[in-house]
Every structure is written in structure tokens, then in C-alpha cells.
Amino acid sequence: MHAARNIALCTKDCVCLFVCPTGATDTENGQIDFSKCISGCRLCVDACPSHAIYLVPSTYPKPQKKEAEVQDALFKLAESKVSQETIAKDLASGSDDPVFRQLCKTVAMSNHIMAEDCYREAGYILPQSDAVRSLLTNLLEKEKEKVAFPVEAVRKLLEKL
């Protein structure tokens, strides 16, 4: 369990630099150096006056089982959102009117986000879960022959998750 900084909340009080025993909080990119952070130490978390530092769990509880009917209904909704995203994208690319293209792009973005949220609640909230591993394994099996398919990326994901 290591500390992470929410840049949007950080008010640069720099107390974390003062309390950190390893210098993990002192970095150029504004984030905490996870490799130096002592697991569960939390000195910076408790000291931060702007509540901008929190602990990221290294392991999560198993996600709750999703009922098949709920999952099916959410997948069906996601399918509809993605098909609306597709129509909107095609309408945008088929038009040379900047205002209409802006509208279609907006509709596409909104539908994409709604589809993501359906999948999230359909049992794909946690990347390091059996559901995701099984999905990646299946995709790799099905698509590994295709030239453009990023085989290495999927193998690395299966290794790391």
C-alpha cells in the first residue's frame, strides 16, 4: 500500500517533504516515487494539510459476483450506446459543417462514457480481476494471428494484472 498525491488538491504546503523518511515525496513530476515509498507508512498522508495524499491499496477485495440478468441488461445498454457513438462518428466524418461535427462529436463522447460506465458496473470495475484476465486471454486467443493486434501489450497486461 503506497501513497499517491492528488495534484488537483495539493496546495504545495510541502509538509510531505518534511515528514517523508525516504524522500519518496520529493519528485519532479509531482507524483510520489512509489519505488521509494514505504508500504503502509502513511506519515505524509496524515501530515498533509490539504488532504491531497492517500494510500493506494496493493490488493483489492474480489469484486462481487454480478447476476447474469443484470449483466445482460447492462451489456445490452452498452451495445446501444456504442452503436449511437458509431452513428454519431459516421455523421461527423460525413459532414463538413464544423458546428454539426461538434454536435456529433459531443454525442459520440457522451455515449462512449455511458458505455464505459455500463461495463464498469457489469463486472469490469477492477482490472486485476478474473473477469478481465479471462477477457484478455480470450482476445489474445482469438486475435493473435491478426497483424495489427498488439500481442505484446496483452501479454504484458496478463503478466502484470
Partner 1 sequence: MTRRLRVEEEMREMTYGELAAMCTNLQKACTKQMRSEEAQLFGVLASYYEQGRENSEERTYQDLLKAINEDLESGYREANAQASAYKDRGSLRALVWGEKVSKLLKSLLMRYDKQKNTLLENTNVYVCEICGFVYVGEQPPSLCPICKVPSFKIQAVQKEAV
Closest CA to 91 of 99, 101, 78, 82: 101
Phi, psi (degrees; rounded to nearest 5) at 31: -100, 165
CB 86 within 8 A of CB 71: no
Member of 56, 59, 61, 145 binding partner 1 (CB under 8 A):
56
**Which residues have a Cβ under 8 Å from the Cβ of 57 and sit 6 or more positions away?**
1
Decide: is 102 part of the binding site for partner 1 (CB under 8 A).
Answer: yes
x-or-dash string of contact with partner 1, 107-136, rule CB under 8 A: x-xxxxxxxxxxxxxxxxxxx--xxx-xx-
x-or-dash string of contact with partner 1, 21-50, rule CB under 8 A: ----------x--x----------------
Decide: is 77 part of the binding site for partner 1 (CB under 8 A).
Answer: yes
> How many amino acids of this chain bind partner 1 (CB under 8 A)?
78
CB 27 within 8 A of CB 33: yes
Nearest residue (CB) to partner 1, 15 versus 114: 114
